[in-house]
Amino acid sequence: MTEEATPRSEVAIGGGCPMGAFARRALLQGAAAGLAGAAGGAVLGDGTELTDAVGSGQVRGKSRVIPMHGSHQRGILTPPQQDAIFLSCDVTAADRAELTELFRTLTSRARFLTTGGRPPGVSASSAPSDNGILGPTVVSDGLTLTVGVGASLFDDRYGLSPRKPAQLVSMTPFLHDDLDPALSQGDLLIQICADHRDTTVHALIDILTHTKSAMKLRWRIDGQRNPERPVGVRRDWFGFKDGIANPDTTNSAQVKQWVWAQPKSGEPDWAAGGTYHVVRIVHFHIEAWQKVPVADQERIFGRRKASGAPMYAVGENASDLLDPIYTNDPQGLITPLNCHIRLANPQTPDTAATSTILRRSYDYDRSPNLPELDLGHAFVCFQRELNTYIAMQTRLEQEALVPYITPKGGGYFFALPGVRDEKDYYARGLLT
């Protein structure tokens, strides 16, 4: 199978989410671009398949199939879908054999859910084989499942310690963090993304149902991708354009340099084709932020609020494709030295190696029935070296955004290499 070739992913800049070294982005192609067929099924230009969402001639539109198999997992270079659930679990498998069976089960469920189809039939007196949220036929709906392992899986339970990824550690608090242990860490992370909310919830219930004998839920965070308003790039809960820069995911050289673990790079042999996966649950102090004048908000972020353009561009319709330029602003008179984007990527020779990560973030709302708003950012990024992210976030300990955000949880994980074919399964290289 050819490698995933997708348009440049959208990115997140809010809530302690550092900007990358590449300040230009490619516009996402329309969902209908490159259609090769009509009613029966079609293929997008990037290889994503479209199939009828409903069988028996009752078509309610098209459901995307993102093929699961490949040398890398989907849900990394894949342009972010509308809805996501991040599911952290503790493994309860009794031994290595049960752990292997857990990964085999996760693989078989992922194959079915991402492809779609009819669940097995059962008698009317038996428990259903599917939760039925998507109806009698499961639609793929652009679903991807991305599985990662945390540092705690490499303790003495399963004899995996010698095979731990070289830089994989448990997340420790940065200077202004308030990490909740109940919302942090985990043996496994399963990232569930799809085009609609019912699909992610269906997959969540399915996975927990089929794996309950070998793992238990530790924490979860649900996220959404806001629409592009007015055009081009979505905005976060702070009202800033949330998607300006990322490595070009269609450029194999950039992806190899910044995302995928490489053979003979200090990582265990099995890890080649995987990547370090960071999830940070960042609470936004919305009430305090709304009291800040717009001019000050812009200096905190380092970009114009209406346009998303750099600080030197004053027009409301200025292009957000313009590059921030710091060489003619050494004192930070235009773009403050402690603003979000400048600390994340100071554009200096000594920070160049720690200024590029692949962001794939979501916004969350956990406010119902709470006395105060709980809105924030499920900041998500992938990088070839975990130390790249840690160095970047350490710089951001001094950013002007600090009073308006509080990181509450998350963890560091290693996203496993891809499942290559029907005979392969998650973590096979790790476990054999």
DSSP output for 361-416: -EEEE--TT-SS--EEEEEEEEES-HHHHHHHHHHGGG-TTGGGEEEEEEEEEEEP
- Output the pLDDT for position 320: 86
Inter-CA distances, 41 with 31, 36, 57, 300, Å: 14, 8, 12, 48
What average pLDDT is seen over the chain?
A: 87
Residue 278 scores a pLDDT above 50:
yes
CA–CA distance, 101 with 28 (Å, rounded to integer):
39
- Quick one: pLDDT band at residue 201, thresholds 50, 70, 90? very high
Out of 43-47, 205-209, 358-362, least confident range: 43-47
CA angle 279, 281, 285 (to 5 degrees): 150
Inter-CA distances, 15 with 162, 177, 331, Å: 35, 12, 25
Average pLDDT over residues 113-138: 92
Residues 6+ apart with CB under 8 A from 156: none
- Output the pLDDT for position 50: 55
Give the tens place of pLDDT for each residue, 45-76: 344 555 555 443 444 457 899 999 999 999 99
CA–CA distance, 389 with 392 (Å, rounded to integer):
5
Helix (H) or strand (E) holding 223: strand 215-224
Tokens of 267: 């990582």
Residue 285 scores a pLDDT above 70:
yes
CA–CA distance, 400 with 205 (Å, rounded to integer):
40
Out of 95-104, 241-250, 279-288, 420-429, least confident range: 241-250
Sign of CA dihedral 346, 350, 352, 355: negative
Residue 273 scores a pLDDT above 80:
yes
- Cβ proximity of 258 and 246 under 8 Å: no
Residue 319 scores a pLDDT above 50:
yes
- Output the pLDDT for position 372: 81
Through-space distance between the first and last CA atoms of the chain, rounded to whole angstroms? 23
Sign of CA dihedral 5, 11, 17, 18: positive
- Output the pLDDT for position 371: 75
Stated pTM of the model: 0.87
Give the tens place of pLDDT for each residue, 220-249: 999 999 888 887 788 999 999 886 778 899
Helix (H) or strand (E) holding 278: strand 275-284
- Quick one: pLDDT band at residue 380, thresholds 50, 70, 90? very high
| Higher per-residue confidence, 10 vs 81 | 81
- Cβ proximity of 342 and 331 under 8 Å: no
CA–CA distance, 344 with 394 (Å, rounded to integer):
9
Q: Which of 129, 198, 241, 171 is nearest to 413 (CA)?
A: 171
- Quick one: pLDDT band at residue 315, thresholds 50, 70, 90? confident
Secondary structure of residue 56 in the 3-state scheme: coil
CA–CA distance, 250 with 59 (Å, rounded to integer):
32
CA–CA distance, 211 with 207 (Å, rounded to integer):
6
Rg (CA), the chain: 22
